[in-house]
Chain A
Amino acid sequence: MTNPPTPTVPIPGVHEGLRSELQKAGIFVVSTEFLYNWGRKNSIWPLGFGIACCAIEMICTAASRFDLARFGAEVFRPSPRQADLMIVAGTVTKKMAPQVVRLYNQMPEPKYVIAMGACAISGGPFKQGYNVLKGVDRYIPVDVHIPGCPPRPEALLHALITLQRKIETQRTLGSAERRNNPAYSDDSRDFPVPQYGEHDLVPAYNRDVWKARPVTRES
């Protein structure tokens, strides 16, 4: 059995000593936000979305030995409408990029992305290819990057735990300033779906999530 939630953030108006006494009796006084995040981080539903080699390691992570179910994320959903997490497991080609962005748009908020493997991060070994997208973070915001070609299942588990930590700290209630999180903002996040243009995908990247690094030349 997992440990009960241990609230560390003090709640204004609740005496810490009383709270500690109640905790000994098995009564936990926590904020709704804490409870909500606790439930959310322990039941992440990933999208069953394998693209290439890394998908096999993703399946291995969910299978017998590594058992993703220990972290509550074993419910791979075939439909993006039911998924919280998109694991981009493999090389995203220029033909596949529109579908990836469309799938991301179809996922309900709050949604997260793990870029698994070198290809999803930067194009990896296939970066020089004419048909390979040089990093999926050009089109969708990535929460956790896992290097490796392919990353080991332990690395994916680590990425998931990292994501859980991130979810833990997110603020879901209150004003937009307090939330400070695009997932909980009032605007929808419908990203433009790239299409084949004359030379390359149009747009070449999503300006909201990625900025080209300025080129500096030493004179």
Chain B
Amino acid sequence: MSVPDSTSSPAIAPREYEVYSGDDLGTNVLEVSMGPQHPSTHGVFRMNVTLDGETVVKLKPVFGYLHRNHEKLGEGMTYLGSMPYTDRLDYFCSMTNNWAYALTAEKLAGIAVPERAEYIRVIMAELTRLQNHASLMGFLTNDLGASGTPLLYAMREREHILDLFEWVSGARMMCNYMRFGGVRNDLPEGWLEQCKKVVDAFPAFLDEFDALLTGNEIIQARCQNVGILPRDLAINASITGPCLRASGVNYDIRKVDKYGIYDRFNFQVPLGEVGDCYDRFMLRLLEMRESVKILKQALSQIPASGPTLDAKSRNFRPKPGEAYGRIESPKGELGFYLISDGGPKPYRYRIRPPSFINLTVLEDMCLGQKIADTVIILGSIDIVLGEVDR
């Protein structure tokens, strides 16, 4: 397509403007409060943006509109009682939240996990990653103005994975499936076969999504070189997860800690170069392809039978001590910190939420950008307010 050159067009004669040269002409900065009710703040998040024209000169996030006293409630109930609450932290990824909490409690009490349960955990975590990243890409394109269509594609795939979760745990979103020392119940009959079908069909969706979005001119124009997160800043601000790897830092807790049985799988960690929104967008797509690889290996290696839960979860009283367990959740490093005084309730129950810590660099990424781009930058960080405010 050729664009007509407006400067050489003879139809419009150049108009003479008188340039005002006085120095009393200036723009005032404008403070805009975006949220907590705003269609693109991904929940009840509020930004106080100071604008010079359309350029962001200052951005102050306001948190706490979804502060549900998670940590305080956790100190008032038994260890197992907090498990359903972890579902509601990052409500896209209940399985990984469960795993992070179970991992910490296992570390605190020194419980071993049976092999079949470890495989089930990996399968659940990677399925969670698939549906989280797919939905995120849908929401991000929604923020870009692709009103809903890619989101509908993503939600269509997400339903297949939610069906699997529902089959095994009884709930679509709030699975409450992991227990200290394993998983709550064994996989139902036929589950693995259905899971294989879903996993085998997933790359076709990724190809479709890739063809639909990656080469799209609007996505490239709006995402490339927007919201650059420099490598040093990402490390200094303790950013984790896809945001960190998009800035080119090779740090994936699945590789670093090798928690669970992640050392048995062959997968790569995709890395970005620039650290802009496009890198973060593409990184999710590549991570989904790696997750499919892990899932295929796990589904072929999983032992046909065996115990899935050895330890008892009720009347769980770990010895006095403390433990910090962390996993690579789809958003980043999700950590739980527990202090036990020997009683049935934790003395201290603390969460290290990846969304919250990744959000702290929002102002640095948005300064100098246009107001419309802050929406995309926020979307590319991938926050869930349940985890940010807790």
Interface residues of A (CB under 8 A from B): 48-53, 55-57, 59-60, 63-65, 78, 80, 90-91, 93, 95-96, 99, 103, 125-126, 128-132, 149-150, 152
Taking the closest CB of chain A, its distance from the CB of B177, in whole angstroms, is 15
Nearest neighbor of A153 in chain B, beta-carbon distance: B172
Question: How far is B43's CA from A49's CA once the two chains are assembled, in angstroms?
Answer: 8
Q: A49-B37, A149-B174, A150-B173 given as contacts; is B92 within 8 A of A56 (CB)?
A: yes
CB-based closest 8 A-B pairs: A129-B69, A63-B155, A53-B91, A78-B39, A64-B156, A126-B68, A96-B65, A65-B159
Prevailing SS type, chain B contact patch: loop
Nearest neighbor of B157 in chain A, beta-carbon distance: A64
Taking the closest CB of chain A, its distance from the CB of B90, in whole angstroms, is 10
Question: How far is B72's CA from A176's CA once the two chains are assembled, in angstroms?
Answer: 50
B43 & A52 in contact (Cβ 8 Å cutoff): yes
By CB atoms of chain A within 10 A, which of B37, B91, B158 has the most?
Answer: B37
B36 & A96 in contact (Cβ 8 Å cutoff): yes
B91 & A52 in contact (Cβ 8 Å cutoff): yes
Nearest neighbor of B46 in chain A, beta-carbon distance: A99
A53 & B156 in contact (Cβ 8 Å cutoff): no
B155 & A125 in contact (Cβ 8 Å cutoff): no
A78 & B38 in contact (Cβ 8 Å cutoff): yes
Question: How far is B45's CA from A51's CA once the two chains are assembled, in angstroms?
Answer: 9
Q: A60-B155, A91-B68 given as contacts; is B73 within 8 A of A55 (CB)?
A: no
Taking the closest CB of chain B, its distance from the CB of A41, in whole angstroms, is 24
Question: How far is B148's CA from A64's CA once the two chains are assembled, in angstroms?
Answer: 10
Residues of B with C-beta under 8 A to A128: 69, 73, 76
Interface size on B, residues (CB 8 A): 33
Q: A63-B152, A64-B155 given as contacts; is B36 within 8 A of A99 (CB)?
A: yes
Give a binary string over B143-176; 1 marks a CB under 8 Å from any A CB, 0 the rest: 0000000011101101100100000000011100
Cross-interface CB contact of A65 among B68, B155, B174, B385, cutoff 8 Å: B155
Q: A51-B44, A57-B173, A93-B67 are in contact. List 15 more A-B contacts (CB 8 A).
A: A52-B385, A53-B91, A56-B91, A59-B155, A63-B151, A91-B66, A95-B64, A96-B44, A96-B66, A126-B68, A126-B73, A129-B68, A130-B72, A132-B68, A150-B174
B386 & A52 in contact (Cβ 8 Å cutoff): yes
9 residue pairs bridging A and B, Cβ less than 8 Å apart: A48-B39, A51-B43, A53-B91, A55-B43, A90-B66, A96-B66, A99-B37, A126-B69, A131-B68
Q: A126-B73, A129-B72 given as contacts; is B66 within 8 A of A52 (CB)?
A: yes
Q: Is B85 an interface residue (CB 8 A)?
A: yes
The B110-164 residues at the A interface (CB cut-off 8 A) are 151-153, 155-156, 158-159, 162
Nearest neighbor of A80 in chain B, beta-carbon distance: B37
A50 & B43 in contact (Cβ 8 Å cutoff): yes
Q: Is B84 an interface residue (CB 8 A)?
A: yes
By CB atoms of chain A within 10 A, which of B39, B64, B76, B92 has the most?
Answer: B39
Taking the closest CB of chain A, its distance from the CB of B331, in whole angstroms, is 15
Question: How far is B77's CA from A125's CA once the two chains are assembled, in angstroms?
Answer: 12
By CB atoms of chain A within 10 A, which of B43, B88, B172 has the most?
Answer: B88
Residues of B with C-beta under 8 A to A80: 37
B88 & A95 in contact (Cβ 8 Å cutoff): no
The B257-273 residues at the A interface (CB cut-off 8 A) are none
Question: How far is B85's CA from A131's CA once the two chains are assembled, in angstroms?
Answer: 16
Residues of B with C-beta under 8 A to A51: 43-44, 66
Cross-interface CB contact of A53 among B36, B39, B88, cutoff 8 Å: B88
B88 & A125 in contact (Cβ 8 Å cutoff): yes
By CB atoms of chain B within 10 A, which of A55, A57, A96 has the most?
Answer: A96
Residues of B with C-beta under 8 A to A91: 66, 68
Nearest neighbor of B63 in chain A, beta-carbon distance: A95
Residues of B with C-beta under 8 A to A130: 69, 72
Question: How far is B190's CA from A183's CA once the two chains are assembled, in angstroms?
Answer: 53
Residues of A with C-beta under 8 A to B88: 52-53, 125
A95 & B69 in contact (Cβ 8 Å cutoff): no
B85 & A125 in contact (Cβ 8 Å cutoff): yes
Residues of A with C-beta under 8 A to B173: 53, 56-57, 150
B69 & A131 in contact (Cβ 8 Å cutoff): yes
Question: How far is B160's CA from A63's CA once the two chains are assembled, in angstroms?
Answer: 13
Give a binary string over B349-390; 1 marks a CB under 8 Å from any A CB, 0 the rest: 000000000000000000000000000000000000110000
By CB atoms of chain B within 10 A, which of A52, A53, A55, A60 has the most?
Answer: A53
Nearest neighbor of B155 in chain A, beta-carbon distance: A63
Residues of B with C-beta under 8 A to A96: 36, 44, 65-66
Give a binary string over B68-83; 1 marks a CB under 8 Å from any A CB, 0 the rest: 1100110010000000
Question: How far is B148's CA from A48's CA once the two chains are assembled, in angstroms?
Answer: 13
Question: How far is B33's CA from A99's CA once the two chains are assembled, in angstroms?
Answer: 13
Residues of B with C-beta under 8 A to A63: 151-152, 155-156
B67 & A131 in contact (Cβ 8 Å cutoff): yes
Residues of A with C-beta under 8 A to B64: 93, 95
Question: How far is B88's CA from A152's CA once the two chains are assembled, in angstroms?
Answer: 15
Nearest neighbor of B139 in chain A, beta-carbon distance: A59
Question: How far is B44's CA from A149's CA once the two chains are assembled, in angstroms?
Answer: 19
Residues of B with C-beta under 8 A to A95: 64-65, 67
Question: How far is B36's CA from A125's CA once the two chains are assembled, in angstroms?
Answer: 23
Give a binary string over B216-233; 1 marks a CB under 8 Å from any A CB, 0 the rest: 000000000000000000
Question: How far is B92's CA from A55's CA once the two chains are assembled, in angstroms?
Answer: 11
Question: How far is B166's CA from A60's CA once the two chains are assembled, in angstroms?
Answer: 15
Question: How far is B159's CA from A53's CA once the two chains are assembled, in angstroms?
Answer: 16
Cross-interface CB contact of A64 among B39, B159, B172, cutoff 8 Å: B159
B152 & A64 in contact (Cβ 8 Å cutoff): yes
Cross-interface CB contact of B66 among A49, A93, A103, cutoff 8 Å: A93
